[in-house]
Amino acid sequence: MPFRLRLRNTQNTQIWNVPETAEEQKRAGRKKMKILSIAVPCYNSEAYMEKCIDSLLVGGEEVEILIVDDGSKDGTTEIADRYQEKYPTIVKAIHQENKGHGGAVNTGVENATGLYFKVVDSDDWVNPEAYQKILNVLAEVVRGPKTLDLLISNYVYEKEGAKRKRVMRYAKSLPEGRFFGWDEAKALGKTHYLLMHSLIYRTSLLRECGMKLPEHTFYVDNIYVYKPLPSVRTLYYMDVDFYRYFIGRDDQSVNERVMISRIDQQIRVNKIMVDAFDLWKIPNRKLRHYMFNYLEIITVISTIMLIRSGTEENLEKKRELWKYIKEKDIRLFHHLRAGILGNTMNLPGKGGRKISVAAYKLSQKVVGFN
């Protein structure tokens, strides 16, 4: 018999069945096809990875959990092996030399056997009720005649110390609970762009579109979202708060101080996204508009971090980034500069930079990001 895993939330206590031991799993019989592969990139994650993995085990035999130990120096390796030993039909521990977050995601895609693929970072977790609903929908999709390329759900900023948790939902822009194409989507606001946390891609689509992330580089989750989008034909949105995005650790990659120290990696990702497509050749107007907005947001983040650093060296990197875009695609450059965000980030002189920073601080309060 499976043991019962008790998970608490703010509303009540839920009890879910999870396979208990290797012996009991073997007695369960034939090997099931995996609907969803979940990659968990781990680097020195011993302090928090168990909370993440325990939340994913709720999926049971429908799910494959790929713990990618990216050259950790702490107890991550032992924890990953322990989970694999206890849940051999669900958990696979993969150990590799350090390749960074992108390299760990690549390894997950390469080893995935599930029909669909998701990345869950080791300091984040998922909501069990939303998880079960998503698995139910994916199971129905697999049994049905249609091919689904991308499933979208909400994510929640679990910001340390915040009194109010901001939920990033898309109900005002996307049809809910059914298949749809880009033509049926309304414009997503600039504060509601898709993150890796909200997406489940069809695994074969990721492989077919050539999605390969650069190694030893942070912020590649933006490439993970952006690169497959032109290959997506069918979408499905579920208005459930599935992914819990923890934000607030001092060493976290999205911490402003950390971002400034790694600004060269942010610029690298920004340029890769600029190079990825000629946006004017994207045939679907709504998809093209969304991808432009996404690229605009990333470019604004690069620009404001270069300004916030306050160094002449980084102000020169800011000028070089915009020059790169101009030389690569003059039309894209003018569209980026003409928008309110581009204008605000490129106001001349010290006074202009102060206005840019003030606008950035206001957006932090409104949106709730770090």
In tens, the pLDDT along 269-325 reads: 999 999 999 999 999 999 999 999 899 889 988 988 898 888 999 999 999 999 999
Give the count of beta carbons closer than 10 Å to the beta carbon of residue 316: 11
* Residues in Cβ contact with 346 at an 8 Å cutoff, skipping those fewer than 6 apart: 303, 322, 337, 352, 356
- For residue 120, pLDDT over 70 is answered with yes
- For residue range 327-361, what is the model confidence (pLDDT) as tens digits? 999 999 999 988 655 556 555 556 655 555 555 55
pLDDT band, residue 4 (cuts 50/70/90): very low
pLDDT of residue 192: 76
**Are 293 and 190 spatial neighbours (Cβ–Cβ below 8 Å)?**
yes
Give the count of beta carbons closer than 10 Å to the beta carbon of residue 361: 12
**Are 229 and 209 spatial neighbours (Cβ–Cβ below 8 Å)?**
no
- For residue 166, pLDDT over 80 is answered with yes
pLDDT (mean) for 115-132: 98
Question: Can you name the CATH fold of 3-247?
Answer: Spore Coat Polysaccharide Biosynthesis Protein SpsA; Chain A (3.90.550)
**Are 19 and 60 spatial neighbours (Cβ–Cβ below 8 Å)?**
yes
pLDDT band, residue 18 (cuts 50/70/90): very low
- For residue 17, pLDDT over 50 is answered with no
Query: In angstroms, rounded to a whole number, what is the distance separating the alpha carbons of residues 355 and 370?
Result: 19
* Residues in Cβ contact with 119 at an 8 Å cutoff, skipping those fewer than 6 apart: 38, 39, 40, 41, 105, 108, 196, 221, 224
Domain boundaries, the chain: 3-247, 256-367
pLDDT (mean) for 11-36: 54
366, burial (CB in 10 Å: exposed 0-12, middle 13-18, buried 19+):
exposed
- For residue range 210-238, what is the model confidence (pLDDT) as tens digits? 999 999 999 999 999 999 999 999 999 99
Query: In angstroms, rounded to a whole number, what is the distance separating the alpha carbons of residues 270 and 264?
Result: 10
Sign, CA torsion 364/199/217/49? positive
Rounded to a whole number of angstroms, the distance between the first and last alpha carbons of the chain is 44
Least confident of 74-88, 238-252, 272-286, 316-330: 238-252
pLDDT of residue 367: 43
pLDDT of residue 87: 98
- For residue 92, pLDDT over 60 is answered with yes
pLDDT of residue 346: 59
pTM (predicted TM-score) = 0.85
pLDDT of residue 352: 55
pLDDT of residue 253: 56
pLDDT band, residue 248 (cuts 50/70/90): confident
Give percent above pLDDT 90 in the chain. 69
